[in-house]
A and B are shown apart, each in its own frame.
Chain A
Amino acid sequence: MASIKEQFEVPSKLKTWSYVLIAIGLVAFIAGLITKGMSKDEHEQTIFIGTLMYNTIFWTLVCNASMFFLCVTTMAWGGWQQSFRRIPEAISTLVPIFGAITFAILMFVVFTHKHHIYHWLDTDAVAKDPILNGKSGFLNIKFFVIWTTLAIVLWSVLGWRMRQLSNEADKEPFDNQSGAKFILQNTVRAATFLVWFGLTVGSTVPWLWMMSIDAHWYSTMYSWYNFASTFVSGMSLIALWVIYLKNKGYLEYTNQEHLHDIGKFMFAFSVFWTYLWFSQYMLIWYANIPEETIYFKHRVQGPYRGSFFLNLVINFLCPLLILMKRAAKRNYTLLTFMAVLIIFGHWIDYYQQIMGSLVKDHVTLGWLDFGILLLFVGIMINQVAKALASKPLIPKYHPFLKESILHHT
Chain B
Amino acid sequence: MAKKKFVVACFDDEDVLFPAVKKVRTAGYKIQDVYTPFPVHGLDHALGMRETSLHTAGFIYGITGTTTAISCISWIFTKDWPLNIGGKPHFALPAWIPIMFELTVLFAAVGMVLTFCYLCQLAPFVKKHHFHLRATDDLFVMAIECTDKTNVDDLKSFLSNNGAVETDVQIAEEGWWFGRYDNDEIPFQKSQIVAA
* Selected contact of B94 from candidates A286, A324, A326, A408, CB within 8 Å: A286
**Bound Cα distance A282, B95 (Å):** 7
Interface: A288 (CB within 8 A): yes
Interface: A281 (CB within 8 A): yes
Please state if A286 and B41 are interface contacts (CB–CB under 8 Å).
no
Please state if B86 and A282 are interface contacts (CB–CB under 8 Å).
no
How many residues in B have their beta carbons less than 8 Å from beta carbons of A?
12
Interface residues of A in 273-292 (CB under 8 A from B): 278, 281-282, 285-286, 288
Please state if B59 and A324 are interface contacts (CB–CB under 8 Å).
yes
Secondary structure of the A contact surface, majority rule: helix
Q: Name the residue of chain A whose CB is nearest to the CB of B45.
A: A408
Interface: B97 (CB within 8 A): yes
Interface residues of A in 122-170 (CB under 8 A from B): none
Please state if B86 and A281 are interface contacts (CB–CB under 8 Å).
no
Q: Name the residue of chain B whose CB is nearest to the CB of A288.
A: B86
Kindly supply a per-residue 1/0 record for chain B positions 28-51, scoring 1 wherever the CB is within 8 Å of any chain A CB and 0 otherwise: 000000000000011000000001
With contact pairs A288-B86, A324-B59 given, residues A281 and B41 touching in the complex (Cβ less than 8 Å): no
**Bound Cα distance A286, B86 (Å):** 9
With contact pairs A278-B97, A286-B94 given, residues A408 and B59 touching in the complex (Cβ less than 8 Å): no
A408 proximity list for chain B (CB < 8 A) = 41-42
**Bound Cα distance A105, B34 (Å):** 63
Q: How far is the CB of A166 from chain B (nearest CB, A)?
A: 28
Kindly supply a per-residue 1/0 record for chain A positions 286-316, scoring 1 wherever the CB is within 8 Å of any chain B CB and 0 otherwise: 1010000000000000000000000000000
Q: How far is the CB of A404 from chain B (nearest CB, A)?
A: 14
**Bound Cα distance A213, B37 (Å):** 59
**Bound Cα distance A288, B42 (Å):** 54
Please state if A282 and B41 are interface contacts (CB–CB under 8 Å).
no
Q: How far is the CB of B128 from chain A (nearest CB, A)?
A: 29
Please state if B86 and A285 are interface contacts (CB–CB under 8 Å).
no
Please state if A282 and B97 are interface contacts (CB–CB under 8 Å).
yes
**Bound Cα distance A286, B85 (Å):** 10
Residues of B whose CB lies within 8 Å of any CB of A are: 41-42, 51, 55, 59, 86-88, 94-95, 97-98
Task: Identify 7 residue pairs between A and B in the complex whose beta-carbon atoms are under 8 Å apart, listed by A's number.
Answer: A278-B97, A281-B94, A282-B95, A286-B94, A288-B88, A324-B59, A326-B55
Knowing that A282-B94, A282-B97, A288-B87 are A-B contacts, what are 10 other residue pairs whose CB atoms are under 8 Å apart, sorted by A's residue number?
A278-B94, A278-B97, A281-B94, A282-B98, A286-B94, A286-B95, A324-B59, A326-B55, A408-B41, A408-B42
